[in-house]
Homo-oligomer: A and B are copies of this chain.
């Protein structure tokens, strides 16, 4: 499959900014959260850069099922983590919680719903593409404005304040 294409695509998007997080992000992206053993809520929260509050919220609205350990604490297995990685990736690209609930419901209904899920994904892909275009325009507009203000349009403003 064209996984390498996707990878290189993703990697080219990672030049410049951020730097040290690129590897981590790629791992998250393809859910190489490999680790077999269950994680605590804190660990998952740190991994996905979200709060434990939000993780509990996602569970309670039915986005993910999470087991408990002996003392009643949440225990996120590989499956749960995988799903959460996917969910946060979709959230980051603007998919509504409502739609994720729909998707998850379909996923839980089994293979019969693959076509419908595929449709949802294709639609979302188009949405992302539209967003990319809008953002690119906004970037151009912002850089244009920066130029009129006499700012240089360098790689980053990181070292300013």
Q: Which residues of A contact B (CB under 8 A)?
A: 1-3, 6-7, 9-10, 13-14, 16-18, 25, 29-30, 86, 89-90, 92-93, 114, 117-119, 121-126, 128-147, 149-151, 153, 156-158, 160-161
A132 touches B136 (CB 8 A): yes
A149 touches B14 (CB 8 A): no
In whole angstroms, how far apart are the Cα atoms of A117 and B150 in the complex? 11
What are 30 of the A-B contact pairs (CB < 8 Å)? Answer: A9-B136, A10-B136, A10-B140, A13-B133, A13-B137, A16-B129, A17-B126, A17-B130, A29-B141, A89-B137, A89-B138, A89-B141, A93-B138, A93-B139, A114-B149, A114-B150, A118-B146, A118-B149, A118-B150, A119-B157, A119-B160, A125-B142, A125-B157, A126-B156, A126-B158, A128-B135, A129-B156, A131-B135, A132-B132, A135-B135
Copies of this protein in the complex: 2
Of B13, B119, B126, the residue contacting A132 (CB under 8 A) is: B13
**Smallest Cβ distance from A25 to chain B, in angstroms?**
6
- Nearest B residue to A136 by beta-carbon distance? B13
B140 touches A14 (CB 8 A): no
